[in-house]
Amino acid sequence: MSSNQWIAGINAVSAAVEHDADNVREVLIEAGAKNPRLAEIETNARRKDIDVRRVAQQALDGVAGGLRHQGVAARYAAARTWSENELQGLVEAAEGRALLLVLDGVQDPHNLGACLRSAAAAGATAVLIPKDKAVQVNATVRKTSAGAADRVPVVPVTNLARAMRDLQKLGVWLYGLAGEATASLYDLDLRGNVALVLGGEGDGLRRLTRENCDQLVRIPMPGADADGGVESLNVSVASGVSLFEAVRQRAG
């Protein structure tokens, strides 16, 4: 992430200051703003020796780049990045209950941000994304994720199919979500080491990604079935449904 990238919004900045303070270079807060959450961010930032400046609203409008800033923005010098080499450690640390989300070419930063928000809420071990032909964690993703981008490990991988095979060698079962599959997500046992694999907008799972899944499954949709058509959920909605089915089973 370049030194000139900004994140904006109360949740995004609060999470960055709380979880990634070493990479936050300064925080800008709207002068005269009375929101107690802004005061909380300022106090927390100063406690962690982060520079805080009170500025005019126009200054925040300029650095936020069209994002709704809610009176606060922060400048990043760098962001925590995870490498493929760290995947094995993440899986092993989960002690047989790893829960991963694999996203095959999501293009819309709002979708990726929403997926990360669901993954963080579900306590996911990590989220894998391709380094190429997919959106990366940028300012819009951070804003949409409401801070989740700093709480869940996001691992960009050079070769998604190879990374999936590496996960299988670690004892992770890979389940791909596909609307035309006959097996139901709800018939799976999702209590062990599991990776849920979802495709990007439009084309869904690519051929190589499909071939490296242990099984393809679908989310039952009675409304779509009644019409005789095959519908697909938005990738962020499908991610949430899938992840929280795993959470439900593990809680039980």
180 residue type, one letter? E
SS3 content of the chain, % helix, strand, coil (to 5): 40, 20, 35
Q: What pLDDT is recorded for position 133?
A: 87
Give CATH superfamily name and number for 5-76.
Ribosomal protein L30/S12 (3.30.1330.30)
Q: Please, what sign has the CA dihedral across residues 189, 191, 195, 200?
A: positive
CA distance 14 to 146: 9
Q: At what angle do helices 235-251 and 109-121 cross, to 10 degrees?
A: 10
Give CATH superfamily name and number for 84-251.
SPOUT methyltransferase, trefoil knot domain (3.40.1280.10)
The ranges assigned to domains in the chain are 5-76, 84-251
Q: Per the annotation, where are the binding residues for S-adenosyl-L-methionine?
A: 199, 219, 233
Q: Per the annotation, where are the binding residues?
A: 199, 219, 233
3-class state of residue 135 by DSSP:
coil
Per-residue pLDDT of the chain (252 residues; tens, 9 = 90+): 444 578 889 988 998 898 878 888 999 999 999 899 999 999 999 999 999 999 999 999 998 877 789 999 998 765 567 999 999 999 999 999 999 999 998 999 999 999 999 999 999 999 999 999 898 888 778 778 877 887 899 999 999 999 999 999 999 999 999 988 999 999 999 999 999 999 988 778 999 999 999 999 999 987 765 454 445 789 999 999 999 999 999 997
* Tokens 């650095």 found at: 63
SS (H, E, C) 4-61: CEEEECHHHHHHHHHHCHHHEEEEEEECCCCCHHHHHHHHHHHHCCCEEEEECHHHHH
Q: What pLDDT is recorded for position 27?
A: 97
Entry pTM = 0.77
Q: Are 192 and 167 in contact (CB under 8 A)?
A: no
CA distance 150 to 93: 19
